[in-house]
Amino acid sequence: MNLEYFPGAADQRTLILFHGTNGTTEEMIDFGKRLSPKSPLLAVGTDHQTSMGTQYFAQTWTEQPDATEIERALNELVAELKSITIAHQTLAEAVGVGYSNGASFLLGGIYAQVLPFHRHLLFHPLPVPTSAAETLLTDRVWLSHGQREPHPTMAQFHMMVSSLWERKADVTSLISGGSHMIAPAEVNAAVQWLSN
């Protein structure tokens, strides 16, 4: 994994950013500036190649990803983040932000309870295998979905939301009128969520 850092104010939460399929750290730094202009930003990129392109783990529109693939990528991420301190904050204070494959990656980390941070913005995640038992009482999760995107289906999105609720996470969800692209209304809602 490769990291790109953009400094920000020490009194603002760090955003840790994860791109979608074939995305870049530069794109996510720019997106992070839209969400929280004063925050320190850490974009986590990957060079891992799959049949779909560059992804944190192999994921297609319609097939359930392999849990061992997600575990491999999460182990790599946790090792990468272990010794990082940003703007004198521990990563427990940070917010994870992911889009598409990056959002699914964070969702897998939430279920596995291996991430050092417990606030998450997930833009258009696709389903990942769920863990059996863990309660998520310390996790705040915001998720978005486009009404017109074919994958995941609306039913699958509602199942992701319900799965987090059942594990006692603090969940906020938003359905935009668009497709798999991030709509302006989603950005506005995410900015509002970050301010609370």
Quick check: 121 and 142 in contact, CB under 8 A? yes
pLDDT at position 101:
94
Burial class (CB in 10 A: 0-12, 13-18, 19+), 196: exposed
Quick check: 180 and 152 in contact, CB under 8 A? no
38: pLDDT strictly greater than 80: yes
DSSP state of 178: S
Q: pLDDT tier at 98 (50, 70, 90 boundaries)?
A: very high
Strands 2-6 and 15-18, bridge-based pairing: unpaired
**pLDDT tens-digit profile of 168-195?**
999 999 999 888 999 999 999 999 999 9
64: pLDDT strictly greater than 90: no
Torsion 104-111-119-171 (CA) sign: positive
Q: How far is CA 7 from CA 54, 96, 117, in A?
A: 26, 16, 19
119: pLDDT strictly greater than 70: yes
**CATH value at residue 163:** 3.40.50.1820
47 contacts: CB under 8 Å, gap ≥ 6? 1, 2, 54
75: pLDDT strictly greater than 70: yes
Q: What is the Cα–Cα distance from 184 to 94, expressed in whole angstroms?
A: 23
Q: Hey, what amino acid is at 104?
A: S
Q: Whole domain around residue 58: which residue ranges?
A: 2-195
Number of structural domains found in the chain? 1
Averaged pLDDT for residues 130-141: 83
Q: How far is CA 49 from CA 5, 57, 194, in A?
A: 23, 8, 32
